[in-house]
Amino acid sequence: MSHIPHLINGERVAGNGRSAPVYNPSTGDSTSAVGLADRATMQLAIDAAKAAFPAWRNTPPAKRAQIMFRFKQLLEQNENEIAALISAEHGKTIEDAVGELKRGIENVEFACAAPEILKGEYSRNVGPNIDAWTDLQPIGVVAGITPFNFPAMVPLWMYPLAIVCGNCFILKPSERDPSSTLFIAELLNQAGLPKGVLNVVNGDKDAVDALIEAPEVKALSFVGSTPIAEYIYSEGTKRGKRVQALGGAKNHAVLMPDADLDNAVSALMGAAYGSCGERCMAISVAVCVGDQIADALVDKIVPQIQALKIGAGTSCGLDMGPLVTAAARDKVKGYIDAGVAQGAKLVVDGRGLVVPGNENGFFVGGTLFDRVTPDMTIYTDEIFGPVLCIVRVGSLEEAMQLINDHEYGNGTCIFTRDGEAARLFCDEIEVGMVGVNVPLPVPVAYHSFGGWKRSLFGDLHAYGPDGVRFYTRKKAITQRWPARKSHEAAQFAFPSNG
């Protein structure tokens, strides 16, 4: 069985000690083992990043950007191989894996603009013979901790931007599907990145705690579940680090009575069941305003759920693959059991799905609940599986109150033809990313990504302009070159232009 190593100072490193199995979720077989770094291994990466920093921070941004241009080309040339690696360990379909990679590449394209985004600000003559400017300087050694569900895209939200801003980076990917992440990092080294600027260290809580506790690590970007996001935010900020920690979600789609139902159903199918529901922007609740639209939705969506093409993600032309692990499958089935026990109406039951030829894969079929109420765990919790819940309400105001009362606030959307309703929704909904007739409103790379409430801990969103703010610190410089022979008396009043 192959062993997935770390990437430290430009070299593959086996590391000591523990390892964890990695599975092909479509077959249920363990296909490799990934090293779980101990503190000594993590320290090697921290030392390498620290040693690389002085030269890298002084490398002109245009040269840093040239490496990103080559990286983008290599990512595009290796698209098929990367998609196959993602699918083999995550389980998502090849087409979905390609989509994830393309969204990741958009972040590399944004990073290619390094000379432009790092220009800073300049003011001449802020006082007599005094000029002032603001520099955007790198922070130093920064780290990213990423989830299993986007092993290519989420790391690409972080390190291309951090690196072009002049930082050195340590990435701790998910231990459940680390191969594509490592492959991609090696492409960046091939593109000409100096050794030690990007290091990838596989591991679990021990590796993460080593990053939190290391005084050399100045900032942490985290994407994953809410309890771990909260832990990393509180432990990191307690130690004076800059932290942005993105957490879990429960994303609602509001269906107004005037919605274009056929298109809304297509949108819901992709947003609820794409990637087997394992997306932080997946729609898991359809809030129907009125029984009429709810009944019509059930009539139209049930046959489409029953017709979902489900199989090994690595085969082409499918709608949905398996869940990532046996534990994830069991957790999702447990929630479906709970929904039934708590009185929701189970309209389509995915628990019994068997995929011929892949009987041991971690599959759950598309599932639909109707008449879900806010006290049920299938409503309160993030299930992270192919389960859509319908909640019936009487008005848009009631729908918005429901969403605003939920602890998560990552994404949401409204399907309507009514501009006034859409505008009210955009203004008053307490959610960080909002779609109007767009089911997965994931911001493009030149905007920034982030939720509200318990979906994000910290002030700055991920990537885009907020990413630049997160990975740089401002230095304001005020400079005076007085005329050679002028003499100035001491001034005891606070300096001003008044």
Q: Which residues bind ligand NAD (CB under 6 A)?
A: 145-150, 154, 172, 174-175, 204-205, 208, 223-225, 228, 246-249, 280, 382, 384, 410, 451, 455
Handedness of CA 432, 435, 440, 446 (dihedral sign): negative
Q: Please state the closest distance from residue 370 (CB atom) to ligand NAD, in A.
A: 24
Q: Please state the closest distance from residue 324 (CB atom) to ligand NAD, in A.
A: 8
Q: Please state the closest distance from residue 22 (CB atom) to ligand NAD, in A.
A: 13
Nearer to ligand NAD, 21 or 290 (CB): 21
Nearer to ligand NAD, 56 or 110 (CB): 110
Nearer to ligand NAD, 60 or 227 (CB): 227
Catalytic residue among 280, 288, 389, 413: 280
Q: Please state the closest distance from residue 223 (CB atom) to ligand NAD, in A.
A: 5
Distance (Å, whole) CA 338 – CA 341: 5
Nearer to ligand NAD, 172 or 241 (CB): 172
Q: Please state the closest distance from residue 387 (CB atom) to ligand NAD, in A.
A: 14
- Residue of 491, 465, 469 whose CA lies nearest to 480: 491
Is 280 among the catalytic positions? yes
CA 267 to chain centre: 21
Nearer to ligand NAD, 392 or 461 (CB): 461
Nearer to ligand NAD, 247 or 467 (CB): 247
Length of the chain: 498
Nearer to ligand NAD, 324 or 368 (CB): 324
Q: What is the DSSP string of 163-193?
A: HHTT-EEEEE--TTS-HHHHHHHHHHHHTTP
Name the residue number minimizing CB distance to ligand NAD: 224
Q: Please state the closest distance from residue 251 (CB atom) to ligand NAD, in A.
A: 9
Q: Please state the closest distance from residue 419 (CB atom) to ligand NAD, in A.
A: 29
Nearer to ligand NAD, 172 or 252 (CB): 172
Q: Please state the closest distance from residue 292 (CB atom) to ligand NAD, in A.
A: 32
Catalytic residue IDs? 280
